[in-house]
A = this chain, B = another copy of it.
């Protein structure tokens, strides 16, 4: 017991005793067994972070932000790639199995229909836009406002035929919410909303962005601006436009969403929505920590929407 007290820096250990213990520990090359400690304490000091994919500028930025936020709180993060709805449920159960003290889940597979599966007796925070009003704390992007602002920016720069590039649109999700913001901005400016300009791709990466941009150009679609719901998509679009000889921003202006590190250096550099990643990460970790600390689960679920600003770069005229 005294050894335990020394290890955990408890007071009430005589200095000479402490030294004796430390000396013995050094001599024996003693290491605490974290598994045993976790069992005895009922805590692991680790939270789980489940993201759909790691090799993505956005999710790696997000992971870095979360890690930054946890470091300041003396927590460890274990990152899991949960690439499917199935994987996400796995992550949930691992957390329930006391491997983690709590879980930050970036849902991509789970949807509004799975809301009830989140009703678990251990701390979970949802980060993202697929589940609203669930029985968990929730940190979301400022989808609507930011999309309006991005679209408005294109309009202000003179675009009249603005394409909207997104992923599969579901009832409630990033694509759907940002589409609403886009439509609102058009409506506010008195511009018609042409369904042909609404383009959906399967995956929100550069490849799909590039392919679709080429298809749009080749099909003769008339457009002078593109609002892409992720920067990856937007950089892909810039690439696709370049392939077809279309000049950005002169002929077509492009704006993205996320402000990933690469956007600043792309050629042309990418105008984009800059969400307050840091703030959202801090808040997610705060909410989770609060849940972990409180003994009794309380159904006062919080919904936090992050801040954003617009970053104007070359792709919309600088």
Contacts and interface: CB of A to CB of B under 8 A. Distances in A.
Given A31-B96, A32-B97, A267-B267, A64 B54 contact: yes
A55 B44 contact: no
A81 interface: yes
B54 A98 contact: no
Interface of A: 31-36, 38-39, 44, 46, 53-57, 59-61, 63-64, 67, 76-81, 93-94, 96-99, 205-207, 210, 235-236, 238-239, 242, 261-262, 264-267, 269
Contact of A262 (B67, B78, B98, B262): B262
Contact of A39 (B33, B59, B77, B242): B33
B63 A54 contact: yes
Contact of A266 (B33, B34, B67, B267): B267
A277 to B, nearest CB: 10
A264 B261 CA distance: 17
Contacts of A78: 46, 78-79
B38 A67 contact: no
A181 to B, nearest CB: 26
A46 B81 CA distance: 14
Contacts of A32: 97
Given A266-B266, A267-B266, A44 B54 contact: no
A67 B78 CA distance: 13
A236 B76 CA distance: 32
Contacts of A53: 64
A150 B57 CA distance: 26
Nearest to A68: B81
A93 B55 contact: no
Given A78-B78, A238-B267, A265-B206, A99 B35 contact: yes
